[in-house]
Amino acid sequence: AAHDLIAPSILSADFAKLGEEVDNVLAAGADIVHFDVMDNHYVPNLTIGPLVCEALRKHGVTAPIDVHLMVKPVDRIIPDFAQAGATYITFHPEASEHIDRTLQLINAEGCKAGLVFNPATPLTCLEYVMDKIDMILLMSVNPGFGGQSFIPSALDKLSQVRELIDASGRDIRLEIDGGVKADNIAAIKAAGADTFVSGSGIFGKGKDSDPNRYDSIIAQMRAALAD
């Protein structure tokens, strides 16, 4: 099985010192940076775009950047994120008019591609594009905000997707996003995930983010994954 990846969602970081926050979680043992892009259209919130991704690269971040697009439409912004240094680009199938074309575009831009499924979105298109994706992201909250509670039905969905990935024989990451904490991460891994997004679980809620906590939280998560 693939190595488990811990992916802090910078949505819950202190944006006034984002470079430092990212350096600190990576130094604390995180593997990849989860980068939430919201457009106040596909989701009712507005966050960060390619300029911020590029700024993190210029700051010296070399870890993979996992760009989660919660935008509609998606295609126009993909080349900008590729240029800005994105490693993975994932999007919600219902936000694209032509899912296969969007996946081809991401791959042509040299990035790894993935599809994101909301808690109540069926996996229908997945079987047709397994050869074009490197990641499947299952949402365990409704997208738009950090700090929500994990929706338990995501566990069965994870097991379902784990079977599809194993049957495909392809090296596809299975990522989970929403309400992931040190105390539920083991059950989430047992259901089949190998890539774990955590925003408020790592950075804390609101303005109480404390870099001194990152080492211990990530160590707790790592220990729970190893058990």
Q: Report if residue 157 touches Zn ion, rule: CB under 5 A.
A: no
Residue 42 CB, nearest approach to Zn ion (Å): 12
Residue in the block written with tokens 């126009």: 76
Q: Tell me which of Zn ion, ligand DX5, none is bound by residue 180, counting a contact when its beta carbon lies within the kind-specific cut-off of 5 to 8 angstroms.
A: ligand DX5
String of contacts with Zn ion for each residue 55-94, x by CB under 5 A: -------------x--------------------------
Catalytic residues: 36, 177
Angle ∠(196,59,194) on CA atoms, nearest 5: 10
String of contacts with ligand DX5 for each residue 59-78, x by CB under 6 A: ---------x----------
Q: Report if residue 22 touches ligand DX5, rule: CB under 6 A.
A: no
Residue 131 CB, nearest approach to ligand DX5 (Å): 26
CA distance 108 to 12: 31
Whether the ω angle into residue 44 lies within 30 degrees of 0, i.e. cis, is: no
CB 203 within 8 A of CB 8: yes
Specify which residues 117 forms β-bridges with: 138
Q: Report if residue 178 touches ligand DX5, rule: CB under 6 A.
A: yes
Cα atoms in the 13 Å half-sphere on the side-chain side of 156: 6
Enumerate binding residues for Zn ion (CB under 5 A): 36, 68, 177
